Amino acid sequence: MASNFSFSVSQTSDSIHDFACTPCKDDGLNNEAQFFCDECKNYYCNNCEQLHNKLFRTHSVFGSQDVSKWVGYVGLNPIESCDKHGGKKLELLCVDHDELCCHICVFLTHRMCQNIKHIPDLADGLKKQPDFKKLPTDVDKIADRLQEMTKKRTQNKQSLKDSGKKILVEIKSLRQKVNETFDKIEKEANDILQEQLHETDDFLQEDIDKCTKLNDKLKTYLEAIHTQEDDNTSYIAYRKCKNKMKEAESLLQELSTKADTTLTFSADPRIEPFFSGLLNTTGKITVDYGFKIRTVFIELF
């Protein structure tokens, strides 16, 4: 409810109202009005409004929702409106706190203050005062400084974006170096693996060749025994076949005592602790706000 209240520092009532109930005020009471009769031109609290309606049923009575129709209501310029109590007019200055106040502010916050002045008294002759006259110049200076600071901060924002792009390039470069290192490790490991596979392959192929060669000899001699009609030739084939059978038995005995050749991989046990413990970050990003420094570590896991 907008204020047309004229404040006095010596006010002793318990409550301050924008509009006081007329009948209650006449009886020395202080109750806030909730209604206004346009014909009686009086303000009424809830109780008095009920009595008024019984006596004057045809009168037009406006409630608080129609306060703009009340006599004495003055619409507020937004500049005059109290920020703490919307719709209340700034009418006072607490000199103790150098703070503009509406009457609600004074009642709730500044009741104990000793130096409260009425704004119309302070505004009298204001435009002739030197401080008022040079206000536009002072405002222009502050505005220029604010614009300069805005420009500086805008440039700072852009520089941060540029720094972010450079850091991203550094991160990608680090990633590339790490990738190259692991690629090199993988290549070396693969070369060694292929070398070992070739070596073990040759080792096993040697035994395979021995077995194949003996098997072929045995088949040749056995076939000669079956096809040769000459006893002498059959005898020679028989003797050579027996000798190769002994040689085969000896080879089989030798090979049967050998375990299968296997190939396994075991990672260096220092690698996992290196990444998960000793090297649990890849770097850090430091932000210097000017008044404080914040460091954020880039964690791997």
Q: What is the CATH number of the domain that holds 111?
A: 3.30.160
Query: Could you tell me if 236 and 293 lie in one domain?
Result: no
In a domain, 172, yes or no: yes
In angstroms, the CA 116 to CA 94 distance is: 5
Report the sign of the C-alpha dihedral through residues 216, 217, 221, 222, in that order.
negative
In angstroms, the CA 261 to CA 255 distance is: 12
Structure tokens of 3? 């204020």
pLDDT at residue number 286: 76
pLDDT at residue number 1: 37
Q: What's the number of CA atoms in the CB half-sphere (13 Å) around residue 3?
A: 21
In angstroms, the CA 76 to CA 252 distance is: 114
In a domain, 9, yes or no: no
Is this prediction's pTM over 0.85? no
**Residue carrying structure tokens 């009471």:** 29
Q: How many domains does the chain have?
A: 3
| Residue 78 three-state SS | helix
Query: Could you tell me if 284 and 255 lie in one domain?
Result: no
In a domain, 132, yes or no: no
Query: Could you tell me if 94 and 34 lie in one domain?
Result: yes
Query: Could you tell me if 29 and 121 lie in one domain?
Result: yes
In a domain, 109, yes or no: yes
In angstroms, the CA 101 to CA 88 distance is: 9
In a domain, 150, yes or no: no
pLDDT at residue number 282: 61
Query: Could you tell me if 98 and 178 lie in one domain?
Result: no
pLDDT at residue number 169: 93
109 lies in which domain range?
A: 22-126
List the one residue out of 143, 102, 106 whose CA is nearest residue 1.
102
pLDDT at residue number 10: 34
Query: Could you tell me if 199 and 285 lie in one domain?
Result: no
Instruction: Please identify, among 100, 126, 152, the residue that sits at the C-terminal boundary of a domain.
Output: 126
In a domain, 1, yes or no: no
Query: Could you tell me if 96 and 77 lie in one domain?
Result: yes
Query: Could you tell me if 231 and 291 lie in one domain?
Result: no
Q: What is the mean pLDDT of each run of 10 residues along the chain (301 residues)?
A: 36 56 87 87 90 89 78 65 79 94 90 92 90 92 94 93 91 88 86 88 92 93 85 89 92 90 79 63 68 69 49
In a domain, 11, yes or no: no
pLDDT at residue number 3: 39
Instruction: Please identify, among 68, 101, 126, the residue that sits at the C-terminal boundary of a domain.
Output: 126
pLDDT at residue number 17: 62
Q: How many CB atoms lie within 10 A of CB 251?
A: 15
pLDDT at residue number 267: 75
Q: From start to end of the chain, where are the E strands?
A: 35-37, 42-44, 61-63, 92-94, 99-101, 116-118, 281-288, 293-299
In a domain, 272, yes or no: yes
Query: Could you tell me if 30 and 98 lie in one domain?
Result: yes
Structure tokens of 235? 């005898």
Instruction: Please identify, among 72, 105, 126, the residue that sits at the C-terminal boundary of a domain.
Output: 126
Structure tokens of 75? 């619409």
